[in-house]
Every structure is written in structure tokens, then in C-alpha cells.
Amino acid sequence: MVPANAPAKKAAPAKKAAPVKKAAPVKKAAPVQKPVQKAAPVKKAAPVKKAAPVQKPVQKAASSKKAAPVKKAGEQAGSPGPYASDRRFLDEQREALLEERREYQTQADDLRAEAEALAMEREPGDVQFDEESGEGGTITVDRERDLALSAQALAAIEEIDAALATIDDLSYGSCEQCHQPIPKARLKALPYARLCVVCKSGGLHRR
């Protein structure tokens, strides 16, 4: 039994409560980062090609044709000549022209051959004689003469061919200068005459 006057025992000091540990701060969850998808770059529309302008072919203005010179009566191409209806006369003239053509052709060929033969006679290195001594000059003169005559024969053939063409288109016998009929007598003497006697005597060089 504890005496009444016994000093009261001090109460044992209350143990301090263990300090409450602060809860660890809750870490905020890292925000879920959604992968940002880059928008596909918008492709620029291909530039619309302009249609090439249709070029209309430029039509050149038709060059104004010169009006054909007015021809006198009997001068028109293909117009009948004074003897167009005389078939017998035209046939006779055709035969005469063809005969003369054959003669002139033979003459031209012979003269050309003769001129070439003369040229070959004088070979390179031959002594050239003067005109007084004779031979050298004579060969040269003969050759030039043959060539000139051959050229004349060929020119006559061209005239004959032109006359034959007028017989074919029935315009034969018309004077090229005055467009009057050439007399038959003149045509029979010279079948390829182009001018009448009056126009021929006026100083023109055509037959």
C-alpha cells in the first residue's frame, strides 16, 4: 500500500506520436502524347496546259492575175486559120514540110561531120600556115563555114517544126504580124513561112 504522502510518480511522458510521413507526392501521369500526324502536303494541282491555239492556215491572197492581153482576130490559141477547112491543102503542106525537114536534117549532120573531120586533120603540133601560104587558113575557113551552114540547117528545122504544130491545131497559114491569110503561092514556095509578103518586106527578119 502506497503511503498517502508519497510523492506522486510523475506520469511517464507520453511518447510523441511518430511523425506522420507525408505521402510521397503523387506523380502526375505524363500526358499521353498522341503522335501528331503531319498532314500530307497538299499537292499542287498540275498547271492546266492551255490548248495550243488552232492556227488557221493563212490563205495568201490570190495574186491578181494579169489580164491576158487582148489578141486580135485570128490570134487566139487554137482558133482556126484561113485554111482550116481545106484538109487537102494542109495534108500537102505537111508532106512538103516533112520532106524539107529530112533534107535539112541530113544537111546539118553531114556538115557537122565534115567540120569535125577538118578539125581532126589539124593535129596538135602541126605547123600553122598563114593566109598567104594557103593550107592552114583554108582548113580553118572551111570548118567555120561548115559549122555555120549546119547551124542554119538546124534553125530551119525549128521553123519547120513550128509550122507542123500550126497544121496540127488548124491555125496554119495566118500571118503572125497582121493576122491576114498568107497566100497559098507563098506557102507552097516556103511551107514554113510565118509572114505574108507585105509584112516580110517591112524589114522583119522572120520568114
Is the model's pTM score more than 0.75? Answer: no
C-alpha cell at 183: 497566100
Q: Which amino acid is at 14?
A: A
SS3 category, 87: helix
SS3 category, 181: strand
Report the pLDDT value the prediction gives residue 66, as an integer from 0 to 100: 47
Which of the residues in the chain have pLDDT under 70? 1-78, 122-137, 203-207
Give the bridge partners for 181, in sequence order.
Answer: 174
Report the pLDDT value the prediction gives residue 95, as an integer from 0 to 100: 97
Residues 174 and 180 sit within 8 Å (Cβ to Cβ): yes
C-alpha cell at 133: 601560104
Strand ranges inside the chain, DSSP E: none
Q: What is the DSSP string of 74-126?
A: T-STT---TTTT-HHHHHHHHHHHHHHHHHHHHHHHHHHHHHHHHHHHS-TTP
Report the pLDDT value the prediction gives residue 72, as an integer from 0 to 100: 44
Report the pLDDT value the prediction gives residue 86, as an integer from 0 to 100: 94
Give the bridge partners for 174, in sequence order.
Answer: 181
CA-wise closest residue to 82 among 94, 91, 73: 73
Instruction: Sort 44 into a burial class: Cβ within 10 Å, 0-12 / 13-18 / 19+.
Output: exposed
Q: CB atoms < 10 A from the CB of 191, how many?
A: 23
Q: Which of 41-46's residues contact partners 24+ apart within 8 Å by CB, and which partners?
A: none
First CA to last CA distance, the chain: 196
Residues 73 and 152 sit within 8 Å (Cβ to Cβ): no
